[in-house]
Structure 1
Amino acid sequence: MKLIIDNLSKTYANGIEALQNVSLEIPKGMFGLLGPNGAGKSTLMRTIATLQEADSGTVALGDINVLKQKNELRQVLGYLPQQFGLYPKISAEVLLNHFAVLKGITNKSERKNLVKALLHKTNLYDVRKQNLKGYSGGMKQRFGIAQALLNNPKLLIVDEPTAGLDPVERNRFYNVLSELGEHTVVILSTHIVDDVKELCTNMAIINQGQVCLKGNPLQILEELKGKVYKKTIEKSELSFYKQNYKVISEKLFLGKPTIHILSDVNPRDGFTLINAELEDVYFSEIFNHSNSKSI
């Protein structure tokens, strides 16, 4: 089963073109959707999840016309939005059981076993009796993951899922998603490059409502081989280098900026060739796309 998105567009009433002819083919497994805040990721996720209408285009999950057969899609959808509310005075166990009822799991014994299994999977079983108002941000996020898995979804959408998770919780979440990706179409929408690097066999980068790049992360990295250079400079020199080189990223190291540039030839001038990372791919695509839009 594949998710096929074809020429999807959405313009809001204020004139912002959130999606511009977005086309993607997403097979079973982990698919990473990378982009900066405001790139259109959440708009795309909400549209696929049938929470808002598109202006034009089509979305299909197997035989399901997502934009027209919304109830059919919701029966096989798991969704963890970027922000979600919880009832603070109810325990995780009670609320997850309630959500299971709403999902149509009417057999009490089956529901009990499912809730128990998901609480274990998300490492919440020991605090299952605790009211949700006492949960940390990471614990609430893990509860959101648990509710998204209640109906054993064929399509799972997770929007900025690792926000608020510490490194241990993030690794646990990675393991859960990797396991699910063996049998499910999983879309991981994020601006955190490491999430995609750790998990995804396919990815796309979206910026200003348009798909800039799509493909296999390793193959994409190969295309940047021999083109990324770095140099540590003085802060006062940063403006000069931005004007004269394709600076795709900058980080402080011991108080000084270390810049990465994109160049087809060796720029010399103290630059060192480095192995491209997925973060370099991300920044280079955002750089190129933003510059092409401004011309």
Structure 2
Amino acid sequence: MELIIQNLSKTYPNGVQALKNVNLSIPTGMFGLLGPNGAGKSSLMRTIATLQEADSGGIRLGDLDVFREKDEMRKVLGYLPQEFGVYPKVSAEELLDHFAVLKGIHNGKERKETVASLLQQTNLYDVRKKNLGGYSGGMKQRFGIAQALLGNPKIIIVDEPTAGLDPAERNRFHNLLSEIGENIIVILSTHIVDDVSDLCRNMAIINKGEVLATGEPLQAIEQMQGQIWRKFIKKEELAQHQTEHAVISSRLFAGKTIIHVYADARPGQEFEPVQPDLEDVYFATISGVTRKTSTPQQEVIA
């Protein structure tokens, strides 16, 4: 099973072009859609989920034409949006049972078994009688995955799922997503680089509605070997370095500023080489300093 997105564009009534000729091939497994806030990730997810129309282009899931067969797409889709609300005075078991009815599971015995199985899978069975208002953020996200798994979907979309989770809940959620992504398409839309590096075999980097790069995270990192350099500087020196070098990121460490610079050769004696990671790939791509493109639209990491 593969999701094929071809020449997808979307402009909102206020004139904002959210998607610009997007082309992607998304295979079975975990796929990371990585980009900053406002990059167009949620617009793309809503379009795939048939929650909004595109201006042009098409989407296919296997033999299914998503735009022409919206109802069929919805039958095989699980969706956890960025803002997932719950009824605070209803238990997880009751609300999941209600969602199961809406999903078309009308047989009472089958529905009961399905609800129990999903609550077990998401590690919520022991708290199934507890009202959702008493759940932590991570528990609510796991409940969101439980409802997304109703009906044995072929594709699941999760939009910014780990934002605001503490490290322990984030790890639990990662383990759950990893298990789910073994047999179906799971699209993880996020601005958190570690989510993609930890979970995804394939990814795309998107910004301002355009896909800038696609490929495998490990290969992308390997391609950047020998091109990332680090230097400790004073805060007031940052502007000068940004003028003289391709500074892709800066951060504070022990009261000092560390900059990462993209360059084919050592940019100065005070710079030291750095083992690149996906964050370097991401910032270099977003900032536009990488120019090894195979097409005018995007870099293909292969």
TM class by smaller structure: over 0.9
- The residue aligned with 2:191 is 191
> Does residue 1:232 correspond to 2:237, yes or no?
no
Question: Residues 159 and 290 of structure 1: is their aligned pair in 2 closer, same or farther, counting only changes over 3 Å?
Answer: farther
Which ranges of structure 1 fall in alignment gaps of 5 or more residues?
none
- The residue aligned with 1:51 is 51
- The residue aligned with 2:27 is 27
Which ranges of structure 2 fall in alignment gaps of 5 or more residues?
297-302
Question: Residues 289 and 205 of structure 1: is their aligned pair in 2 closer, same or farther, counting only changes over 3 Å?
Answer: farther
CA contact (8 A) 1:224 1:281 kept: yes
CA contact (8 A) 2:138 2:170 kept: no
- The residue aligned with 2:299 is none
CA contact (8 A) 1:207 1:289 kept: no
- The residue aligned with 2:166 is 166
CA contact (8 A) 2:132 2:140 kept: yes
Question: Residues 289 and 149 of structure 1: is their aligned pair in 2 closer, same or farther, counting only changes over 3 Å?
Answer: farther
Shift of 1:289: 7.3
Which runs of at least 4 in structure 1 moved beyond 3 Å after TM superposition?
Answer: 289-292
Deviations 1:43-99 (A, max 9, x none): 000000000000000000011111111000000000000002211221111000110
TM-score by length of 1: 0.96
Shift of 1:290: 11
Q: Give the aligned CA root-mean-square deviation in angstroms.
A: 1.6
The 5 Å alignment of 1:128-143 reads: 128-143=128-143
Deviations 1:29-53 (A, max 9, x none): 1100000000000000000000000
Deviations 1:197-237 (A, max 9, x none): 01111100000000000011111112111000011111111
| Counterpart amino acid of residue 151 in structure 2 | N
CA contact (8 A) 1:141 1:164 kept: no
Structure-2 separation of matches of 1:227 and 1:89: 54
Shift of 1:121: 2.0
Shift of 1:136: 2.2
TM-score by length of 2: 0.93
Structure-2 separation of matches of 1:269 and 1:249: 19
Across the two proteins, how many residue pairs are aligned to each other? 292
Shift of 1:110: 1.9
Structure-2 separation of matches of 1:143 and 1:21: 34
CA contact (8 A) 2:284 2:290 kept: no
Shift of 1:196: 0.4
Structure-1 separation of matches of 2:163 and 2:141: 8
- The residue aligned with 2:76 is 76
The 5 Å alignment of 1:96-135 reads: 96-135=96-135
Structure-1 separation of matches of 2:194 and 2:148: 22
SS in 2 for 1:32: strand
| Counterpart amino acid of residue 187 in structure 2 | I
